[in-house]
Amino acid sequence: MSKAKIVKMKNMLRSVTAFMAILILSSCEHKELCYSHAHTAKVQVIFDWKNASEANPETMRLYLFPIDGGKAEMYEFVGKEGGYIQAPVGKYRAVCINSDTESILYRNIDRFDKFETFSPSGALILGSYSVPRVEGTSDERVAKSPDRLYSGRHDDITIEQKEDIQVMTFYPEPSVCRYRVTVLNVSNLKYISSDGVSGALSGMSGGLLLGGNELTKERVTVPFSVVSDGISTLTADFLVFGQTGSDGPPHKLVIYVIMADGSKNYYTFNVTDQVDNAADPRYVHIVLDGLPLPKPIVNGGGFKPSVDEWQNVEVDVPM
């Protein structure tokens, strides 16, 4: 090969090498420019508890739902005050909840309008016995009583990229209802067996749509524990999401009792009026007067009741 050709090839190689170096440097410069331009902003999240002064959750959770669609951004906070987050810039709708719960489940967590919290399924039992369903409630799911839940929301949030720290304030409020039951003038209460009484309430809502703060239409029966004073009064205190509406089926409250002689009875009260007309739907106190428990047969006298079947007793409730 001639010397002139060798020189020409070397020049071509130098040109190609220089061109490749320019491409590599241009690519690196583009990447550096992109990474120096982070599309996030620092935001201070504040939880203001003016609507639930009694609340003291251990942890809080925030969901940011992009208005244009896509996966929700989730942030966790220790304590109830809030904190700082680094969030992508954009427009959002948002929901906050306390996350220190055990008997609450979630679904559709990437949809603001479908984001639902609900209670897991439970069972109607008393001791080692399954208890019967009340007539007209067999199509309702049996759901556990939910934990105490607080939630807040925003329909329109804009996170901008700027030097100043933006502030996002939420006002959580109670999202479950407290129900109390008092049964007065219970006869022969001292004759119930150990741990021989429980209850259930039908026609409750199965969950809550957090984005719209609306109860779901699913109807459930919620079992609850009952406490006896050993003399003449039964009491209960439990949480529910609320009732599905006054146009639904009647609310039936059931007290299940096993007596010392093994007899099993359940007493049904129609408490629709007290539930529908409660002064505060978030704090419902159901008061019942009179529960005729049978006196057990002792010393072999009389007829021994069947211990294998549950006997139903309908109890009239004055309107």
HEC profile of 80-132 = CCEEEEEEECEEEEEEEEECCCCCCEEECCCCCCCCEEECCECCCEECCEECC
289: Cα separation from own chain's centroid: 32
**Beta strand pairing status for 73-78 and 129-130?**
unpaired
Domain covering 40-315 assigned CATH 1.10.1240.10 in the classification: no
Instruction: Give yes or no for a contact between 201 and 264, defined as CB atoms under 8 angstroms apart.
Output: no
Give me the pLDDT at residue 36, please.
38
Give me the pLDDT at residue 301, please.
53
pLDDT averaged per 10 residues in sequence order, the chain, 319 residues: 48 52 42 50 97 97 95 97 96 97 94 96 91 93 97 96 92 97 96 91 97 95 96 97 82 95 94 94 96 77 60 77
Burial pattern 34-66, b for ≥16 Cβ within 10 A else e, equals: eeeeeeebebebebebeebeebebeebbbbbbb
The candidate with the shortest Cα–Cα distance to 113, out of 95, 101, 97, is 95
Give me the pLDDT at residue 303, please.
45
Given phi > 0 = left and psi -120 to 50 = alpha, else beta, which region is 162?
A: beta
- What one-character DSSP code corresponds to residue 143? B
Give me the pLDDT at residue 48, please.
98
* CA distances, 53 to each of 50, 158, 171, 251, 319 (Å): 6, 28, 11, 31, 35
Beta bridge partners of 82: 46
- E-strand ranges in 160-309 read 166-170, 173-174, 177-187, 192-205, 207-209, 214-215, 219-225, 227-228, 234-240, 252-259, 264-270, 283-292
Report the distance separating Cα 106 and Cα 129, nearest Å: 30
DSSP-based three-state secondary structure for 4: helix
**Beta strand pairing status for 214-215 and 227-228?**
unpaired
Query: In this structure, which long-range contacts are made by residues 101-107, counting pairs with CB atoms below 8 Å and at least 24 apart in sequence?
Result: 101/146, 101/147, 101/148, 101/149, 102/147, 103/144, 103/145, 103/146, 103/147, 104/146, 104/147, 104/149
Q: Which residue has the tokens 């759901």?
A: 143
